[in-house]
Amino acid sequence: MVEVNEKIAIEHGLKSDEYKKICDLLKRTPNITELGVFSAMWNEHCSYKSSRRHLKKLHTKGDQVIQGPGENAGVVDIEDDDAIVFKIESHNHPSFIEPYQGAATGVGGIMRDVFTMGARPIANLNSIHFGSPDHEKTRNLLRGVVKGIGGYGNCIGVPTIAGQTCFDESYNGNILVNAMTLGLVNKNKIFYSKAAGINKPVIYVGSKTGRDGIHGASMASAIFDDKIEEKKPTVQVGDPFTEKLLLEACLELMAGKSIISIQDMGAAGLTSSSIEMASKGDLGIEIDLTKVPCREENMTPYEIMLSESQERMLIVLEEGKEKEAKKIFDKWNLDFAVIGKTTDSKNIELFFKNEKVAEIPIDFLAENAPMYDRKWIKSELPKENSFSKDQFKSLKLGECLNKILQDPNISDKEWIWSQYDHTVMGDTIQRPGGDAGVVRVHGTNKAVAAAVDSSATYCNAHPLTGGKQVVCESWRNMISVGAKPIAITNCLNFGNPEKERNMGEFVECVEGISEASKYLNYPVVSGNVSFYNETKDKGIKPTPSIGGIGLLANYKKMITMELKNNGNYLFVIGKTEGHLDQSVFARNILSKFEGPPPEVNLFNEKQNGLIILKLINNNLIETCHDVSLGGILTALSKMSIKGNKGINIFPINGLVNKFQYFFGEDQGRYIIEIKPKNLENVENMLKNDSIHFDKLGLVEGDKITLENDLKLSIDDIKEDYKKWLKEYMVN
C-alpha cells in the first residue's frame, strides 16, 4: 500500500491547501484509494471549482426548457410529446495526446450522456480547432481526429449533420475537440441521475473495467509539457460496436419501470457516477469492488475506481428487478453485475475482498469540494484602426476574394465531412456545408436544426463582445434554415484559470453569452468547461463553442443557402457599416491583427432574425444565408458555388467604400433571394418593421460581376474555395 503524503497528493493534481483540507475533513490521512477519489472529484473537470460561481449567471430558463444545467444533458420541449436531449462536451487533452481514440471516445461519451436520459441519438455535430497549418503536428492531428469522429459515429449508426473546423496558431500546443449529440425522447419518459430509496440495488452494466483512462479526468485539468507522450495511458479506448449494444440494451430496459436512476461512467468513471447519483439523492452508497467486472488481472480498488474504460453505465434499480434487467443485458452480450446498494449513511463505502478500503462522506466530495473566487482582469475594448484610402488604392476585389476563399478558416471543408456518414437513419434533410444541419423527427412533419459555432478571434479581441457574438451567430444559423431558435449548449474552452487574464476572458465571455441568450430567449440548458488548455505556459485563445438547436414545425418550409433561379433578386438584410477590424480581410489582405470585434446590437439581431422567419413562413423567400466571416462577397460566393448560378451585383451607394462594404463583418445580417413577384410584398414587410435592407443584385449568368470592378466565373471561385484543404491533406 502506498503511503499517502503531501507529495503524493500534489502528484494527483491537488494543491497543498486542498490536501490539508482533505485531512481536516476526514480528521485523518486518507489512504491511496480515498486520495484517488478526492483527486478525481476535486479536479477542475469534475468540480468546476473555478467556474461554478460564474456559470450561475447564465440564462437557463425558457418556456420550452424541461431540464437545464445539472443533469447529463439538457432537455427541451419540441411540442406534441417529443423532446430533444442535447449537450456538447470537450475531449481536448485526450485528442491532442492520441487523436484517433481521443476524438472517438469524445463522440462515444457525449452519446452516452444523451441516451442515459432515455433518448435515442439522432444526430452528432462537432467543433474542432487545430494549430497553424504550417505547424509540424497539425496535419496528422487533423487526420487522426477526423478519422476518430467518423470511425465511432459511423459505426454506431448516428449521422454527423454539421460541424466547424478552425485553424489558429494558439492551438499549436492544445487542439480542441468538442462533440455534440442530439437525442429524441418522449417527454414523459425522461430518465435522471438522482438516486432514490434505501437498499436499492446498484448495477454495473456494459464493458469490463480495464486500466485505460486512469487519471483521465485529472489529466483533463492539467497543463502540458514536454512529457506529453507519457500521458497516453490516460487516454480511453473506445469500442463503438459495444456502445451500440449498450444503447439498445439501456433503451430496452428503459421501456419498463425498473430504473430509478442511471448515470454514464464518463470522467472519473465509477467514482463520479456513484458519487453524483448519491449526492443528488442525498443518500449514501456502498460498493463491493470485488464484484466489478474487470478485464485485467489484479486490479486494485484504486484502479477500479479511477478507470475511465468506455461503454459503461451505473444504474439504481427497483428491488426485485435484477433478474429481469439481467436478461436484457445477457441478450445483448453485455456485463451485468449487482455491485452494491444505496444506504442512508450519506457516505461512499468501498469494500474489496471483504475489507473496507474507503469511507468518505459524500458531502466532502460534492458540496464541500473547493470553490474558488479567482482574481480576474477586465478586458478593455481595443482602439479602432483607421483605414486610409491609400491602403485600398492598389487592391482589386477579385484578387482579394480569391485569397480570402483560400483562407483555411473560410475554405471548403468537404474533405472532412465527406468522411462522416450524414445520411444514416434516413432523416437528414440538410447535410453539412450549409448554415445548419437539419434532421426530421421521424414520422412527423417536424424537423430539428442544429449547428456549432465559435469565434476565438472576436473573443480574444474583446471577450464580452465575442461571447455575445457567438450566441448571435448560432441564432442566425437557426434562422437561416427556417428554424425557430430554441436553446443552446456551450463548451467553454479556456487557458489556465489561475492566470488573471485567462480568468477574465472566461468571466466576460460567460457574461456576454448570458446577455445575448437572455435577450434572444435562447437559453443555455447544458454545457461543459474545459480549462488548462495550455502548453509550456502558452494558452489558447478564449474559445466558447455554442451548439444551438431550432425547430421547424413543418420541414417543407426549410430553406437552404444555394441560389435557386435566374431573375431573382438578392437583398442584404441588416445595415452594413463596413467593420474591418478583426475581419478575415484585415488579417489576410491588410495584415492588420489589432482592433475591436464588430459591435453586437441585440435589438437589431432579434428584429432582423424575426423578420426573416416571418418571410420564410409566408413563402416569400427562396434562399437565405447569414453574413459572417469574410463578409458579403464571401457569403455570395458560397451561395453562387452551391447553386451554380451567377450574380450581377448592383453598384453600391453611400459612404462605405467597396472593400468595407463587401468584406466588412458587421453583425446581424442575412442575404435573401426573392422572386420578382414577391418583391413588393417583401419590401413592404421590411419597411413596416423598420428593417434596414440593401438591394444587392440579380441572380443571372455564370459569373459574379460588379460593373468594372469584378468579373469572376463560378468555376474560378469554386476552384479557389475548394482547393486549399484538399491540397493540404494530400501533402
**Residues 532-581: tens digit of each pLDDT:** 999 988 999 999 999 999 999 999 999 999 999 999 999 999 999 999 99
**In contact, 126 and 177? CB cutoff 8 Å:** yes
Beta strands 703-706 and 647-649, pairing class = parallel
pLDDT of 308 higher than 50: yes
**In contact, 185 and 118? CB cutoff 8 Å:** yes
59 is an active site residue: no
The CA distance from 71 to 78, in Å, is 19
Please choose, from the candidates 302, 371, 213, the residue with its C-alpha nearest in 3D space to the C-alpha of residue 30: 302
**H or E segment at 263?**
strand 259-264
* Backbone torsion region of residue 495, taken as left when φ is above 0, otherwise alpha when ψ lies between -120 and 50, otherwise beta: beta
pLDDT at 227: 53
The CA distance from 16 to 6, in Å, is 7
**In contact, 170 and 539? CB cutoff 8 Å:** yes
The CA distance from 527 to 534, in Å, is 21
Of 12, 45, 54, 422, which residue is the catalytic one? 45
pLDDT of 388 higher than 80: yes
**H or E segment at 704?**
strand 703-706
The CA distance from 720 to 641, in Å, is 11
Alpha carbon dihedral 408, 414, 415, 416, in 10-degree steps, equals 80
| Mean pLDDT in residue range 102-118 | 96
Of the chain, the percentage scoring pLDDT greater than 90 comes to 92
pLDDT of 219 higher than 50: no
pLDDT of 228 higher than 50: no
**In contact, 160 and 153? CB cutoff 8 Å:** yes
The CA distance from 436 to 444, in Å, is 20
Residue 500 pLDDT level (bands cut at 50, 70, 90): very high
pLDDT at 176: 98
**In contact, 37 and 7? CB cutoff 8 Å:** no
pLDDT digits (tens, 9 = 90+) for 692-723: 999 999 999 999 999 989 999 999 999 999 99
C-alpha cell at 675: 422572386
pLDDT at 537: 86
Q: What is the 3-class SS of 168-221, one letter each residue? A: CHHHCCCCEEEEEEEEEEECCCCCCCCCCCCCCEEEEEECCECCCCCCHHHHCC
State the Cα angle at 121 between 118 and 126, rounded to 5°.
130
C-alpha cell at 593: 491583427
Please choose, from the candidates 658, 637, 666, 656, the residue with its C-alpha nearest in 3D space to the C-alpha of residue 476: 666
| Mean pLDDT in residue range 136-140 | 96
pLDDT digits (tens, 9 = 90+) for 430-450: 999 999 999 999 999 999 999
pLDDT digits (tens, 9 = 90+) for 231-248: 445 577 889 999 999 999
| Mean pLDDT in residue range 125-145 | 97
What is the CB neighbour count within 10 angstroms for residue 628? 21
pLDDT at 131: 97
Query: What is the strand order of the sheet 524-530 is part of?
Result: 428-430, 437-440, 447-453, 543-552, 484-493, 524-530
C-alpha cell at 85: 436531449
Of 12, 54, 91, 93, which residue is the catalytic one? 91
Residue 91 pLDDT level (bands cut at 50, 70, 90): very high
| Mean pLDDT in residue range 579-591 | 96
Looking at every residue in the chain, the average pLDDT score rounds to: 94
422 is an active site residue: no
pLDDT of 510 higher than 80: yes
Of the chain, the percentage scoring pLDDT greater than 70 comes to 97
pLDDT of 290 higher than 70: yes
Please choose, from the candidates 555, 443, 476, 498, the residue with its C-alpha nearest in 3D space to the C-alpha of residue 82: 443
Please choose, from the candidates 608, 493, 464, the residue with its C-alpha nearest in 3D space to the C-alpha of residue 129: 493
Residue 217 pLDDT level (bands cut at 50, 70, 90): very low
Partners of 530 in beta bridges: 493
